[in-house]
């Protein structure tokens, strides 16, 4: 199959590289010339484990190429995937579909034979209809079908997720398009992932329902964590206790600083807007968003509590470990670290930060912070460490060394990666999430 992938970001680049690895002929198109130039010279625009090797291998075998010339790639393609961004629209939270529609217009102008156009971007219900209308308007004689094929990969484990998906969702009523897209995914059939063939609108809604449900699980366990702190219970054990129930499952039940990242915040908001526009308000998701927003400042108050709770952190140096929204990515989009740091600064704290991979991205979004070379450099002379992202390398820090170099020995562990007993044994005041709070420092 000849595939044109429009948008060479997290989803487009990973999907394009994986499709080429299956043996398809793939051209990844992006209108960011610098990105394409970097990719052509072998530099990855994102950090994703295994991606550089996968790309290099398929480029060298001439199955994968990068270009800015959408027209040529689309004219030659059997299948065109749209994987451009759908961020929140400024002001109202609706998904900003301008990139999708611009791509649709350009595709319309380039189609030269029967072409299957597939939206991989996360788009609200009905977007496929509009994409179809735009292509038809641009090119009334074009032979094409528009399919919805939402992507469920997780950053940090994207290649594995793409090659071993829990399921593939294909939304189309067009038999010819269904055969083509089935052929695209045929190399995965050995692993026999469930494939849900459905209509386009159902596929579009499925993606938003999945992300909103996962966000709901996170918000739910975070509220249970707050209650656990008040009543002297342990949220981690509650999560295990409920997670062993197959109907509930263990995943997405880790209490923490609230969800962030490139998908959950914008997708929950967009689903809420779709619900409101269709007079079917999604009150649960609305509450999830409100609960999650409030949590960011609540985490800053938790840090203040570790110092006695008056909300004044003037003169305190706080070492923030982990900045990206989760480990194994350099993605800083809507990372919980950003509002947390702002709130700590509002309380008067001086902020030192370290992230194993995310520093270049973090430099673009964080102001008035000291960027450090390592976790230990960050902790030096700090009054407290706040663990925000659970990178592996933070799991076994040398507590003895830390307590020797810090001004005061306080750890606020927003990911519960340490055992309170172990940390307090080293003379630290420890504060986790959803576990009984130790006495004030
Ligand atoms: P991204 O911002 O990393 O990449 C989008 C790319 O599209 C950018 O490189 C941009 O330059 C390019 N682009 C925009 N308009 C273009 C055009 N007209 N022609 C060519 N290129 C164009 O975004 P992403 O994180 O890869 O997300 C893409 C979509 O996939 C979004 O809808 C997102 O919700 C969805 N998604 C993302 C993830 C994830 O983990 N990041 C997972 C599942 C689904």
Q: Per-residue pLDDT for 441 more than 50?
A: no
Rounded to the nearest angstrom, the distance between the alpha carbon of 346 and the centre of ligand 1 is 33
**Separation in Å, CA 388 to CA 190, 298, 340, 354, 433:** 39, 14, 9, 10, 11
CATH topology of domain 2-198: Rossmann fold (3.40.50)
User: What's the chain's average pLDDT?
Assistant: 96
Mean pLDDT confidence for 273-285: 98
Top mutation candidate among 12, 14, 87, 124 for ligand 1, by most atoms within 8 Å of CB:
12
Tens digit of each residue's pLDDT (9 = 90 or more) over 353-391: 999 999 999 999 999 999 999 999 999 999 999 999 999
The C-alpha atoms of residue 299 and residue 39 are separated, in whole angstroms, by 39
Q: Which atom of ligand 1 is nearest to the CA of 123?
A: 32
Q: pTM here? A: 0.96
The C-alpha atoms of residue 290 and residue 284 are separated, in whole angstroms, by 10
Tens digit of each residue's pLDDT (9 = 90 or more) over 293-340: 999 889 999 999 998 877 789 999 999 999 999 999 999 999 999 999
Fold match flag (2-198 vs 200-441)? yes
* Every domain of the chain and the residues it spans: 2-198, 200-441
The CATH code of domain 200-441 reads 3.40.50.720
Q: Per-residue pLDDT for 425 more than 90?
A: yes
Q: How many CA atoms lie within 13 A of 322 on its CB side?
A: 24
Catalytic residue among 18, 28, 263, 378: 263
Q: Which atom of ligand 1 is nearest to the CA of 95?
A: 32
Q: Decide if 263 is catalytic.
A: yes
Q: Which atom of ligand 1 is nearest to the CA of 150?
A: 44
Atom 2 in ligand 1: which residue has the minimum CA distance?
85
Query: Any residues with Cβ below 6 Å from ligand 1, and which?
Result: 6-12, 29-32, 35, 83-86, 99, 102-103, 121-122, 151, 153, 155, 262-263
Top mutation candidate among 206, 262, 268 for ligand 1, by most atoms within 8 Å of CB:
262
CB 124 within 8 A of CB 204: yes
CB 184 within 8 A of CB 211: no
Rounded to the nearest angstrom, the distance between the alpha carbon of 273 and the centre of ligand 1 is 21
What are the residue ranges of helices labelled H in 164-282?
175-185, 200-231, 235-243, 264-277
Atom 29 in ligand 1: which residue has the minimum CA distance?
121
- Residue 414, both tokens: 């927003």
Percentages helix, strand, coil for the chain (3-state, rounded to 5) are: 45, 15, 40
Of 202, 105, 102, the closest CA to residue 150 belongs to 202
């Amino acid at each position: 199959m000849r595939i044109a992938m429009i948008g060479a970001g997290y989803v487009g680049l990973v999907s394009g590289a994986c499709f080429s690895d299956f043996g398809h002929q793939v051209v990844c198109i992006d209108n960011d010339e610098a990105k394409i130039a970097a990719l052509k010279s072998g530099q990855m625009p994102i950090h994703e484990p295994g991606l550089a090797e996968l790309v290099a291998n398929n480029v060298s075998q001439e199955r994968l190429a990068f270009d800015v010339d959408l027209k040529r790639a689309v004219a030659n393609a059997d299948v065109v995937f749209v994987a451009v961004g759908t961020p929140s629209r400024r002001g109202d939270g609706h998904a900003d579909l301008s990139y999708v529609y611009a791509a649709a217009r350009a595709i319309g102008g380039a189609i030269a034979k029967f072409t299957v156009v597939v939206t991989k971007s996360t788009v609200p219900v009905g977007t496929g209809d509009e994409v179809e209308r735009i292509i038809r308007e641009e090119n009334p004689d074009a032979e094409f079908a528009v399919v919805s094929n939402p992507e469920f990969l997780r950053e940090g484990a994207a290649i594995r997720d793409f090659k071993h998906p829990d399921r593939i969702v294909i939304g189309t009523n067009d038999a010819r398009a269904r055969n083509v897209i089935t052929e695209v995914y045929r190399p995965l059939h050995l692993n026999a992932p469930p494939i849900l063939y459905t209509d386009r609108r159902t596929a579009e809604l499925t993606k938003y329902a999945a992300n909103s449900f996962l966000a709901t699980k996170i918000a739910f366990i975070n509220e249970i964590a707050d209650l656990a702190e008040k009543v002297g219970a342990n949220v981690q054990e509650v999560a295990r206790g409920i997670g062993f129930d197959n109907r509930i499952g263990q995943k997405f039940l880790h209490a923490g600083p609230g969800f962030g990242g490139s998908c959950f915040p914008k997708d929950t908001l967009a689903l809420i807007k779709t619900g409101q526009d269709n007079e079917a308000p999604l009150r649960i998701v609305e509450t999830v968003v409100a609960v999650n927003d409030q949590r960011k400042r609540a985490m800053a108050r938790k840090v203040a509590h570790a110092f006695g709770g008056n909300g004044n952190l003037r003169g305190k140096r706080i070492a923030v470990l982990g900045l990206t929204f989760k480990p194994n990515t350099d993605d800083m989009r809507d990372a919980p670290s950003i509002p947390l740091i702002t709130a700590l600064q509002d309380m008067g704290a001086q902020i030192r930060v370290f992230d194993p991979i995310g520093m270049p991205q973090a430099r673009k979004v964080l102001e008035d912070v000291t960027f450090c070379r390592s976790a230990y450099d960050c902790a030096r002379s700090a009054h407290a460490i706040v663990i925000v992202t659970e990178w592996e390398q933070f799991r076994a820090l040398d507590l003895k060394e830390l307590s020797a170099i810090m001004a005061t020995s306080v750890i606020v562990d927003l990911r519960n990666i340490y055992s309170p007993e172990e940390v307090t044994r080293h003379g630290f005041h420890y504060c986790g999430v959803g576990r009984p709070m130790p006495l004030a420092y």
